[in-house]
A and B are shown apart, each in its own frame.
Chain A
Amino acid sequence: MFEVEASPMFIQGLHEEQRCLLDDIRMSRRKGEAFCQTTQAAWYVPQHLPETGAHSVYQNNFRGALTRSVYGSFPLSSRHMPSDLFNDLVNDYSEQKACETGDIESWPSLFVDFVASKISQNKYSGRLPSYLPDCLRLEWAIDCATRASIQAGDRLTLNKLQQLSAADQLESATLSVNKSLQLLKLPAGMLELWRGLKNKALQLDDSFWRIPLGQAIEIIRREHVSALDGDEPPIALGRNVDIAAGYYAVHIMIDDSVDGRRIGDSCMLSIEPLHSLVYAVLNALPDTFCLEQLSSRCENVLKEQDAEMALEVFIASVLSLMCERKYLCLNASGGGCEGALT
Chain B
Amino acid sequence: MLPSQASIALRHQYMDALIEQDVRLPWMEVLADNFLNIDNLHFYRAEPLFQHCPLSLHCIGMNLGAMEALNEEYLHAVKLLADRLDAKQVSDHVCFHSLEGAHSYDLLPIAYHPENVRYLAGRLSYVQRFLGRPFCVENISSYLFHRQSVLSEGQFLAGLAELSGCGILLDVNNLYVNGLNLSNDPEAAKDYALQQMAELNAEQVWQIHIAGHQRTSWGAIDHHGAALHEDVLTLLFEATRLYGRKPVLLEWDHNIPPLERVLDELNVVSTVLSAVEREPLGVE
Contact = CB atoms under 8 A, between A and B. Distances in A.
B40 interface: yes
A333 interface: no
Nearest to A102: B103
Contacts of B218: 48-50, 53
Contacts of A5: 118-119, 122
Q: Which 5 A-B pairs have the closest CB atoms?
A: A65-B105, A6-B119, A15-B67, A152-B39, A54-B143
Contact of B37 (A48, A66, A147): A147
Nearest to A184: B41
18 contacts: A2-B121, A2-B125, A6-B115, A7-B115, A10-B115, A14-B110, A18-B99, A26-B103, A42-B147, A45-B145, A49-B143, A102-B101, A146-B41, A147-B37, A149-B37, A150-B41, A151-B39, A180-B41
Contacts of B144: 21, 43-45, 54, 58
Contacts of A42: 146-148
A66 B104 CA distance: 10
Contacts of B113: 10
A39 to B, nearest CB: 8
Contacts of A152: 38-39
Interface string A5-38: 1110011101100110111011000000000000
B56 interface: no
Q: How large is the interface on B (under 10, 10 to 19, 20 to 34, 35 or more residues)?
A: 35 or more
Interface of B: 16, 37-42, 44-45, 61, 66-68, 96, 98-106, 108-111, 113, 115-116, 118-119, 121-122, 125-126, 128-129, 143-148, 163-165, 181-184, 216, 218-219, 221
B72 to A, nearest CB: 14
A326 interface: yes
B145 A58 contact: no
Contacts of A57: 143, 221
A15 B68 contact: yes
B105 A18 contact: no
A62 interface: yes
A12 B99 CA distance: 13
A26 B128 CA distance: 31
A65 B144 CA distance: 20
Contacts of B146: 42-44
Contact of A25 (B101, B104, B118, B129): B104
Contacts of B103: 22, 26, 99, 101-102, 104
A57 B105 CA distance: 12
Given A6-B122, A14-B111, A46-B219, 13 more contacts: A3-B121, A6-B118, A22-B102, A43-B144, A45-B143, A46-B145, A48-B184, A62-B105, A66-B105, A100-B101, A146-B42, A150-B40, A150-B41
A289 to B, nearest CB: 20
Nearest to A41: B147
Contacts of A46: 145, 181-184, 219
Nearest to B106: A61
Contacts of B163: 2
Nearest to A66: B105
A4 B118 contact: yes
A48 to B, nearest CB: 5
A92 to B, nearest CB: 19
Interface string A68-100: 000000000000000000000000000000011
Contact of A149 (B39, B45, B105, B129): B39
Interface in A98-113: 99-102, 104
Nearest to B84: A152
A99 B122 CA distance: 31
A102 B106 contact: no
B108 to A, nearest CB: 6
Nearest to A45: B144
Contact of A23 (B96, B102, B119, B128): B102
A18 B100 CA distance: 10
